[in-house]
Amino acid sequence: MESFGDDLETMRRVPLADHHVDQLHRIGTERAYTAGQTVVAVGEPLERFIYVLEGEIEAVNVYTGERLFEASLGPTQFLGDIGFLSGASVTSPMRAARPTRTLEVPRFDMLDLMARVPELSDHVITVFAARRRRMFEERASAVKVIGADRDPLIQACEQFLARNRIPFDSLDLDGRDDASVEACHATDHSPGVIIGRDRRLDDPSPRTLARELGLDLDVCRETLYDLVIVGAGPAGVAAAVYAGSEGLCALAIEDTAIGGQAGASSRIENYLGFPTGISGTDLVFRGQVQAMKFGTRFAMPRRVEGLSRRADGSFRVELDGGERVCSLAVLVATGVRYRRLPLERLEDFEGAGVFYAATDMEARFCRHTDAVVVGGGNSAGQAAMYLSRTAKHVHVVVRGTSLAASMSNYLYRRLEADPAITIHYRTKVTALDGGDHLEALTLSSPDGDVRLETRALFLMIGAAPNTGWLSGLAETDSSGFVLTGAKAGRDHPYETGAEGIFAVGDVRAQSVKRVASAVGEGSVVISRIWEYVEATKRDRLVMQQPATHPDVVGSAVV
């Protein structure tokens, strides 16, 4: 994402080619707006590509009615951001600043045109992605998250928005944001999520937000996907890119946010092509944009709860809420989750001083307090380096006697040399203390117990695979990691023992737990999945499935 801002400035000065505009005219409709008329409203799905022929369109501050940005859109420019690819809802209203004439193309027709004309697609997506980044960084949105510093449920909403790069504005209730809170018509100063001027969510949660913002899955029970990818970390998103580029009808399902565990990393410095580092969220967001460009769909936050094989050999994927989708093949890319410490009151403090990620959102809670990071892997080291910018001091708690075996050399040498960081070897956290929020903890080492006052504990330990939903269809080892390749009796390294089920990334037994290897596995596995899907389709045609119960594969009925 580093170059998207510069690319946007370049694209502002480079209009669409005349022959591309001619193609838009053939599939679009002209429309006129009077000065002050709303072009797109907050919460409205962006179901049309809007190209400005004459006039001017501006973003609007939903509370004051004034222009939101100094810049506006004029002739040869177009509306929207990356949410257009999935039909997500608008988070900033747009209106005609003066009499305006537009050319508007239905979203699916525009996506079809972009698929056929790569030069047009590259131009549009570059602008869309850069615009999304700018809106996110400038918090230009009518979505207001109030009180994440007070309420773990609101904090979960903020995490969902932040990690999915959805523009929003966060307002704390510590007194510093009072004027902004009141400007949102939230006079009671209670935690909550507001969309637009007066749409306050009754039951704020990531799932509710996804539904409001058009990100939730509209399940089509008659669609038989070629491939369902469970998990959208680096491995899953890489697979989503290659699946789309190979023409597979694919759906990626993620239960938290795009990026998985890597998305919780504030800075990855040893990934090829980013010498100054990149956040895990930005890295995977780039991949998501690519995947959506090729037609792969994403559903989040949705949890897969079960898997079964249907009589015709395809798979039924059971989702939370009782919904289901079906596919010819399944790719397991659920990665791992940090383990929880067996501590009293741990659940009480989760979101109230205990965190499992170290991004901008969590770092702001470290001001004026020491921060404690538990873990000896790269994620823990990256978190410690990042948090040292805002915390009074960072304590890294490690059960072993060295970091050399579990952390990259460049990283643990930085930790040891940084005066703002102290590493506690042969140490563990044994107790938590506080009222509504974490206030202190106890560190135990061979030298005795020490009470440390802190309001920020980051747990980044162990690796617990998420494979219970496989319902026994694919074999796992004693720790729950999926067996593939020779250990599963297969020739291909990413095939499980169950025909049609594949596994890549950290969830796979004996995989290399690195972002680059996960991306590589997700990319490589698609060629084998494509072969399997094509062979399965041929077999289904031969079997002549009864027309009374058709399944739709992509655009073909079998």
pLDDT above 50 (res 525): yes
The answer to whether residues 438 and 352 touch, using CB atoms and an 8 Å cutoff, is yes
Question: In this predicted structure, what is the pLDDT of residue 514?
Answer: 85
| Paired tokens of 30 | 């002209």
- From 379, 418, 362, select the one nearest 267 (Cα to Cα): 379
Calculate helix-pair angle for 18-27, 118-137, nearest 10 degrees.
90
Q: Give the pLDDT band (50/70/90) at residue 553.
A: very low
More confident residue, 24 or 512: 24
How many angstroms separate the CA atoms of 268 and 262, rounded?
A: 9
More confident residue, 44 or 548: 44
pLDDT above 60 (res 555): no
Q: Which residue has the tokens 């410490």?
A: 341
What's the pLDDT tens digit per position in 160-188? 998 888 999 998 887 777 667 776 766 56
Question: In this predicted structure, what is the pLDDT of residue 552?
Answer: 42
Q: Where are the beta strands (DSSP E) in 333-460?
A: 336-337, 354-355, 371-374, 394-397, 421-424, 428-434, 438-445, 448-453, 456-459
- From 369, 408, 374, select the one nearest 388 (Cα to Cα): 369
Residues 404-423 have a mean pLDDT of 93
The answer to whether residues 442 and 427 touch, using CB atoms and an 8 Å cutoff, is no
Q: Strand, coil or helix: what is 511? A: coil
DSSP letters, 208-251, are HHHHHTT-S----TTBEEEEEEE--SHHHHHHHHHHHHTT--EE
| Paired tokens of 133 | 């980044």
What homologous superfamily is domain 346-459 in, according to CATH?
FAD/NAD(P)-binding domain (3.50.50.60)
- From 323, 326, 331, select the one nearest 551 (Cα to Cα): 326
Residues 204-228 have a mean pLDDT of 82
Mean pLDDT value across the chain: 88
Cβ atoms < 10 Å from Cβ of 383: 29
Judge if 4-137 and 224-337+464-553 fold alike in CATH terms.
Answer: no
> Bridge partners of 552?
223, 557
Question: In this predicted structure, what is the pLDDT of residue 536?
Answer: 94
Q: Give the pLDDT band (50/70/90) at residue 220.
A: low
Q: Which residue has the tokens 């901008």?
A: 360
Amino acid of residue 368: H
Q: Residue 440 half-sphere exposure, CB side, CA atoms within 13 Å?
A: 7
Cβ atoms < 10 Å from Cβ of 322: 7
How many angstroms separate the CA atoms of 159 and 221, rounded?
A: 30
> Bridge partners of 105?
49
| Paired tokens of 127 | 């602008």
Lowest-pLDDT choice from 5-9, 101-105, 209-213: 5-9
Fold held by 224-337+464-553? FAD/NAD(P)-binding domain (3.50.50)
Domain layout of the chain by residue ranges: 4-137, 143-212, 224-337+464-553, 346-459
Fold held by 4-137? Jelly Rolls (2.60.120)
Question: In this predicted structure, what is the pLDDT of residue 334?
Answer: 94
What's the pLDDT tens digit per position in 42-96? 989 999 999 999 999 999 988 888 998 888 999 999 999 999 998 899 988 999 9
How many angstroms separate the CA atoms of 253 and 306, rounded?
A: 13
- Structure pTM? 0.87
The answer to whether residues 171 and 185 touch, using CB atoms and an 8 Å cutoff, is no
Residues 25-32 have a mean pLDDT of 97
Q: Give the pLDDT band (50/70/90) at residue 231.
A: very high
| Paired tokens of 535 | 């062979």
Q: Give the pLDDT band (50/70/90) at residue 2.
A: very low
Question: In this predicted structure, what is the pLDDT of residue 502?
Answer: 98
Residues 390-394 have a mean pLDDT of 96
Question: In this predicted structure, what is the pLDDT of residue 65?
Answer: 87
How many angstroms separate the CA atoms of 505 and 402, rounded?
A: 26
Task: Output phi, psi for 309, to 5 deg.
Answer: -100, 130
Residues 13-34 have a mean pLDDT of 93
Calculate helix-pair angle for 107-116, 18-27, nearest 10 degrees.
140
Question: What percent of the chain has a predicted confidence (pLDDT) above 90?
Answer: 62
What's the pLDDT tens digit per position in 117-166? 999 999 999 999 999 998 998 888 889 999 888 888 999 999 899 888 89
Question: What percent of the chain has a predicted confidence (pLDDT) above 70?
Answer: 92
Question: In this predicted structure, what is the pLDDT of residue 218?
Answer: 60
Question: In this predicted structure, what is the pLDDT of residue 3?
Answer: 44
pLDDT above 80 (res 365): yes
Q: Which CATH class is domain 143-212?
A: alpha beta
Lowest-pLDDT choice from 106-120, 247-261, 478-492: 247-261
pLDDT above 50 (res 10): no
How many angstroms separate the CA atoms of 403 and 460, rounded?
A: 14
Question: In this predicted structure, what is the pLDDT of residue 549?
Answer: 46
How many angstroms separate the CA atoms of 360 and 369, rounded?
A: 16
